[in-house]
Amino acid sequence: MDARTIGIFDSGAGGLTVLHDCLVTLPHEDFVYLGDGARCPYGPRSTEEVRRFALEVASYLERAGVKLIVNACNTATAAALPLLQERLAVPVVGVLAPEAHAAVQATRNRRIGVLATEGTVRSGRYAQVIRTLDAGAAVLSVACPKLVPMIESGGSNDALVAAVREYAAPLKEAEVDTVILGCTHYPLVRPVFERVFGRGTTLVFSADETAREVAETLARKGIENDPRRDGECTFLTTGPPDDFRSLGERFLQLPIPSVDRVSLSELELEAA
């Protein structure tokens, strides 16, 4: 048994969909969530910058004494996961390999689609991990630049459906039977993806698969908390706490009682 907290980070509030699934799977664990709101989004930034930010944030969590870190940001996982794993002593689970593994297990015709941000698609990491597991799988990745802004602004459903249809079209054309939704924002509009792709397509979401990976990892390492207790969550952000709370409650699908601010200088100073 291990009473230490689990750390989860993302550039903003999107990773709260991962926290939501972790809470469903592991209600007896404590979590600390750190959103790097002051420097969000990571998507348009250079790989080098994303690496530095991810290392600062993850190092802060390690110093706080967590037992495991979840990199709940697809962009930061694609850019920085190996670096974090090399630099930190605490294990770091990313959101990418669990989905790739699930997609390889699920596909029947071995044609897998990926919908993600431009940075994630450009990194090529999904295709790489999928091909490590199944060298004969065909992978088609489509960048979806419109979706994150639309989901965050909570705009018209018609425009969102039209955008999803547009991004889905080449995947349907290629007859993929399994689609990885490779961005933590996408579970918020799960019904739209379900309707556009229909019953014949298996949808793989980061949040589900990462929670499963975290649960298996804790069990195999023997570092689970007492299953009879109720876990607690702490929320931290480098940006304005009120912004985090208002967006975060939609992603977490629960009220967020309080959010504490971590100053960037605290991250940077201590990482130096």
Cα 167 to Cα 102: distance, rounded to the nearest angstrom? 21
Q: Does 87 bind a copy of itself (CB under 8 A)?
A: yes
Beta carbons of 181 and 193 less than 8 angstroms apart:
yes
Q: Taken in order 74, 204, 233, 68, is the CA torsion positive or negative?
A: negative
Taking the C-alpha atoms of residue 141 and residue 121, their distance in angstroms, rounded to an integer, is: 6
Name which of 222 and 257 has its Cβ closer to a copy of itself: 222
Tokens 């480098």 found at: 238
Please tell me what DSSP assigns to residue 13.
Answer: S
Using CB under 8 A, count the residues that bind a copy of itself.
34
CB-based contact 62:90 (threshold 8 Å): yes
The Cα 187–Cα 201 span in angstroms is 16
Q: Are 77 and 15 in contact (CB under 8 A)?
A: no
Task: Indicate the residue among 16 and 127 with the shorter CB distance to a copy of itself.
Answer: 127
User: Considering the rule CB under 8 A, would residue 223 count as an interface residue with a copy of itself?
Assistant: yes
Determine if 220 is a binding residue for a copy of itself (CB under 8 A): yes
Contact call for residue 64 and a copy of itself (CB under 8 A) = no
Q: Give the number of residues written for the chain.
A: 272
User: Applying CB under 8 A, does 202 fall inside the site for a copy of itself?
Assistant: yes
DSSP 96: S
| Residue 134 interacting with a copy of itself (CB under 8 A) | yes
Instruction: Examine residue 1 and tell whether it contacts a copy of itself (CB under 8 A).
Output: no
217 versus 234: smaller Cβ distance to a copy of itself:
217
162 binds a copy of itself (CB under 8 A): no
Residue 136 makes contact with a copy of itself by CB under 8 A: yes
Residue 73 known to be catalytic: yes
**Residue 141 CB, nearest distance to a copy of itself (Å)?**
18
From residue 112 to residue 131, the character string flagging contacts with a copy of itself as x (rule: CB under 8 A) and all else as - is -----------------x--
Q: Under a CB-based contact definition with an 8 Å cutoff, are residues 61 and 32 in contact?
A: yes
Q: Minimum distance between the CB of residue 237 and a copy of itself, rounded to whole angstroms?
A: 27
Work out whether 3 is an interface residue with a copy of itself (CB under 8 A): no
CB of 137 or CB of 151, closer to a copy of itself:
137
CA 205 vs CA 52, 182, 188, 212, 238: distances in Å: 27, 7, 11, 11, 26
Residues recognised as catalytic:
73, 183
Q: Given the rule CB under 8 A, which residues bind a copy of itself?
A: 81-89, 91-92, 97, 101-102, 105-108, 110, 129, 132-137, 202, 213, 216-217, 220-223
